[in-house]
Amino acid sequence: MKKERAVTYDAVVIGAGHNGLAAAVHLVHKGWKVAVVEANEAPGGAVKTRELTLPGYRHDLCAMNLSMFAGSAFFNHYKQELTAHGLDFVPAPHCFASVFRDDTFLGVGTDVEQTVAGIAALSPADAQAWREMLADFSRVAPHLFGVLGAPMPSRALAPVLWRAWRQLGTQGVYGMLRLVLSSPRDFLDAHFENDKLKAMMAAWGLHLDFAPDTAGGAMFPYLESMSNQAFGMVIGKGGADTIINAMTGLLRAKGGELMLGTPVSEVKLQNKHAQGVVLADGRFLAAKRAVIANVNPQLVFGKLVPPGTCPPVFEKNVRKFRPGPGAMMMHLALSGLPDWKAGEALKQYAYVHIAPDMAMMSKVMTQALDGQLPEEPALVVGQPTAIDPGRAPDGHHVLWVQVRVVPGEIRGDALGQITERDWASAKHAYAERVLDIIERYAPGLRGKILGQAVYSPADLEAENPNLIGGDSLSGSHHLDQNFLFRPVAGYSRYQTPLSALYLCGASTWPGAGTGAGSGFMLANMLAKR
């Protein structure tokens, strides 16, 4: 039997998440011949939209907020072409709010005076401090975003830091460094006095894996609070998959190939050089210049690359790469939006956080990391159809509920009520606990539910193996796994010990989110060589 000849590309990208697609689009644009291979039948990674409950109800499986993508360097570079391929955003003028145990709420939107009025009702001093922080944000933000948008480390960082020093002065640079290193509580206590305002901002830390007292956790609450106030939030028209559909359309239009339902069994090596990939069906795709794995490094080394191939210290550090705690996703088809006790105005917000105080935020993180089902998880309640009603039939809605945080493996229940120790058995009982919490703040929700889909941490990992233990971050973002240390010290610039094999994705700098930063930065670096 005649052996089939290998197909040769300049680059083969493993994984059609948005970072892998961003890398592929840019390299094809630069004249490379590129193939993207994806094990699932649909592209997108953690950015997918499906009818998970009932026909006509479109739910974002994981990612919903696309503000990072809308503000990304990749989108800025390809804005016209992506828009021509159908990319469309819907602005959310009422961005996020937190509800509290006394049935009040505090929210942030693009109307500064409205936000400040809510804060002033709690503390006039904090209202003034908010204005001052917002004014300072306009000076500080370009330098912070410059750091987040540069490879780590790189020569590109030097002019970013130089400009920061010239414009902000020594004390301003020290302030940026203090922000990067501070815990949410320390940062917020230094600027505000009211506990509700501090809780509202600290809730953003749990979107990553930062409890109130975790060092390095202040920057995300700061950036999200100030960015939403200054720029607003956007979601995808019709679903978050608008970015994936546009990226795949652009990739194909530029001549790139996308192979779906095509698992990779190994990265082919010769003399510690990546030559291409072997597919599960035995085909070989040769890569003359690069194999790019948009894959968690723990799935690359020891699986796609045999153990013992790389230096022992590197493989040891990859094995020690720590996932963040798990998340659970709940998707509801509703006959109407929740009736929030705190006020009808809450129906306008894209996100409603149910994380009423720092004490419960600290407790939920501790319980989850101890393997316990938290007694009171923090909830991010997304109301996309309040902004984009076309995702559901007329007058109906979808609700997006992210349960943060839960253990990847269950050792017990903090309340002693759920006896099951596997997620397949426990998830529906835990979903009832979540609904009880929402009912506390929005009575009658159960009566509006027309359909429900629950994704446990195990379900999320089955859907996307990069989400180990249901970790939606693809690796903890604590300081020892961030910046120069993401994913492994000495390999933060997307390279690996094997020549021509590169990593990108949420496990690499600058981490999780929809900003496509690692894929675009890697592609820029490769294209210049």
Residue 65 banded pLDDT, cuts 50, 70, 90: very high
Find out if CATH 1.10.10 is the number for domain 322-463.
no
pLDDT of 401 over the 90 cut: yes
Q: Give me the phi and psi of 523, to 5 degrees please.
A: -60, -40
For the chain, the average pLDDT equals 96
Q: Which of 266, 303, 299 is nearest to 285 (CA)?
A: 266
Answer CATH for 7-45+68-88+239-321+475-527 from 3.50.50.60, 3.40.630.40, 3.40.390.10, 3.90.1150.10: 3.50.50.60
Look at strands 397-406 and 351-354 and give their pairing.
unpaired
Residues in the chain: 529
Per-residue pLDDT for 303 more than 50? yes
In the chain the first and final C-alpha atoms are separated, in Å, by 40
> Which pLDDT value is given to residue 4?
52
**pLDDT at 2 > cutoff 50:** no
Residue 63: CA atoms inside 13 Å, Cβ hemisphere, count? Answer: 31
Q: What is the pLDDT of residue 5?
A: 63
Give the model confidence (pLDDT) of 72-110 as tens digits: 999 999 999 999 999 999 999 999 999 999 999 999 999
Residue 79: the pLDDT is 98
Domain limits, CATH 3.90.660, in the chain: 322-463
Domain with CATH 3.50.50.60 in the chain: 7-45+68-88+239-321+475-527
pLDDT of residue 166: 86
pLDDT tens digits, one per residue of 166-209: 888 999 889 989 999 999 999 999 999 999 999 999 999 999 99
Confidence of residue 156 (pLDDT cuts 50, 70, 90): confident
DSSP at 318: H
Is residue 32 very low, low, confident or very high in pLDDT (cuts 50, 70, 90)? very high
Which residues are 451's β-sheet partners?
Answer: 333
Mean pLDDT value of segment 334-360? 98
- Residue 365 pLDDT greater than 60, yes or no: yes
> Of 469, 523, 377, 529, nearest to 27 (Cα)?
523
What average pLDDT score do residues 238-251 get?
A: 98
Mean pLDDT of 259-284: 97
Tens-place pLDDT, residues 111-151: 999 999 999 999 999 999 999 999 999 999 999 999 999 99
CA-to-CA distance for 355 and 49, rounded, in angstroms? 26
49 near 236, Cβ under 8 Å? yes
How much is the pLDDT for 388?
A: 98
- 267 CA to centre of own chain: 27
Q: Which two tokens stand for residue 348?
A: 């306008």
Q: How far apart are CA 504 and CA 18, in angstroms?
A: 10
Dist CA 109 CA 227 (whole Å)? 10
Q: Decide: helix, strand or coil at residue 35.
A: strand
E strand or H helix at 412: strand 412-413
Q: What is the pLDDT of residues 207-225, one digit of tens each?
A: 999 999 999 999 999 999 9
Mean pLDDT over 242-254 rounds to 98
Q: Quote the pLDDT of residue 153.
A: 83
pLDDT at 1: 36
